A and B are shown apart, each in its own frame.
Chain A
Amino acid sequence: MAVAHPLDRYLRTDRIPTMWCPGCGLGILLGCMLRALDRRIKEGSLRRENVGFVGGIGCSARMSLYPYFDSAHVIHGRAIPFALGVKVVKPEMKMVVIGGDGDIAAIGGNHILHAIRRNADLLVIMANNMVYGMTGGQQAPTTPRGLYTTTTPYGNPEREINMIRLAAALGANYIARGSVTHPPLLEQMIYKALGKRGLAFVEVLSTCPELFGRHIGFRNPVDLYNELRKRVIVKVRPSVDESDYSWERGFVVGEFVDRDEPGFIEILYEYTSKARGGVG
């Protein structure tokens, strides 16, 4: 008697295999996320009906198509305000936003900035494959300087964005960087992030074998995966100053910030209840 894959109960299995390329790190991330959710649901700290996924546009955001939960595949860069709208009126929902580096840090930049500033009660996962994958491999804010992309064929002239520093400057409650090359660590980061109030931000280094790897000379998924793994530096509780993000010197992976400031919803509700009390 054969058994089902343990995560099948959380998947819309009629949509598997996914649309992602062979070796795409997003599938690895999805597995880590569902395992983290499974632990939370089994231990009773999350109810399955209360989990909602929101993705913008891009291969990363297409993750919202696969989990068998309430989910929304909205417009490019706007998953965060959509998720916050849900959360304000239904605070019992655990809202997980998934986007790529373009969706979150480029077009969605204003929204992630203010979501962190507000300490909005969302889990934001930024799958960072260093490129705009879905559209063919264009430059992204996270593309390492000097690398070829289809819109920077002479080399990317721009500095990369370090989202860890940004999130720390704005005061997120939980800030971590993980990698698809280190699944158990990534799962643990997501597991912890799911239990936080306020804004939890997890950057996930990921692989895009077709539109990033192949363009810079790594012709198969294993080669790119190996390159990334070589460049990942795992640190235990690194400080924000240690959050190096560099193709040459390495990408530091770890939990940078873990605090417990009150989240936006809690404070909004506290002030709003004052209004209902007739004061103000």
Chain B
Amino acid sequence: MGEPLAITTTRATLRTPAGKYFINVVRERCKECGLCIFVCPTKVLERGSERNSRGYRYVIPARPEKCIGCRMCEYTCPDFAIFIEVGGG
């Protein structure tokens, strides 16, 4: 209880290098609401075509090179399904 649920494996989290950052999408948590896609100022994100086990097409970084690390996606996601990690590049 309270332990991260298998999200440290690469299978559960889609981790995409994005310049100075990584964009992490926790596939099973995404509910396809579209808010992160809408609020991203540089239009990095898009609805993917793969579905998670609940049938939602989780979001994918389609243009990761445009990510500026503002974290609006992370702050706006209602489901803790996307977050920015600093590092890399």
Judged by a CB distance under 8 angstroms, whether B34 is at the interface is yes
| A217 to B50 CA separation, bound complex (whole angstroms) | 29
Judged by a CB distance under 8 angstroms, whether A280 is at the interface is no
B11 to chain A, nearest CB (A): 9
Contacts of B13 in A (CB 8 A): 2
Q: Choose from A5, A14, A18, A220 the contact partner of B83 (Cβ within 8 Å).
A: A5
B54 touches A17 (CB 8 A): yes
B78 touches A20 (CB 8 A): yes
Contacts of B32 in A (CB 8 A): 22
A221 touches B75 (CB 8 A): no
Contacts of A14 in B (CB 8 A): 1-3, 5
Judged by a CB distance under 8 angstroms, whether B43 is at the interface is no
Q: Of the listed stretches A24-32, A115-123, A170-178, A258-266, name the one at the interface; the rest are far from the partner chain.
A: A24-32
Known: A5-B83, A222-B38. A16 touches B5 (CB 8 A): yes
**What total count of A-B pairs have CB within 8 Å?**
106
Nearest opposing residue in chain B for A225, CB measure: B35
Known: A183-B75, A183-B76, A221-B34. A12 touches B2 (CB 8 A): yes
| A227 to B3 CA separation, bound complex (whole angstroms) | 37
Contacts of B15 in A (CB 8 A): 2
Judged by a CB distance under 8 angstroms, whether B49 is at the interface is no
Tell me what chain B mostly uses at the interface: helix, strand, loop, or mixed.
loop
Chain B interface residue bracket vs A: 35 or more
A28 touches B9 (CB 8 A): no
B4 touches A184 (CB 8 A): no
Judged by a CB distance under 8 angstroms, whether B77 is at the interface is yes
Q: Choose from A1, A22, A32 the contact partner of B75 (Cβ within 8 Å).
A: A32
Judged by a CB distance under 8 angstroms, whether A41 is at the interface is no
Contacts of A20 in B (CB 8 A): 78-79
A3 touches B80 (CB 8 A): no
B3 to chain A, nearest CB (A): 7
Interface size on A, residues (CB 8 A): 39
Contacts of A7 in B (CB 8 A): 80
| A183 to B74 CA separation, bound complex (whole angstroms) | 10
Judged by a CB distance under 8 angstroms, whether B7 is at the interface is yes
| A68 to B75 CA separation, bound complex (whole angstroms) | 19
**Sampled A-B contacts (23; CB under 8 Å):** A1-B8, A2-B12, A2-B13, A3-B24, A4-B4, A4-B8, A5-B4, A5-B24, A5-B83, A11-B80, A13-B5, A16-B29, A17-B28, A20-B79, A27-B79, A28-B35, A28-B75, A28-B78, A220-B34, A221-B33, A222-B33, A222-B37, A225-B35
Given contacts A27-B79, A28-B77, A220-B34, 14 further A-B contacts (CB under 8 A): A4-B7, A16-B29, A17-B28, A17-B81, A18-B78, A20-B78, A21-B31, A22-B34, A22-B78, A23-B34, A31-B78, A32-B75, A209-B33, A222-B33
Q: What 8 pairs between A and B have smallest CB-CB spacing?
A: A27-B78, A23-B33, A22-B31, A22-B33, A183-B75, A4-B4, A221-B33, A2-B13
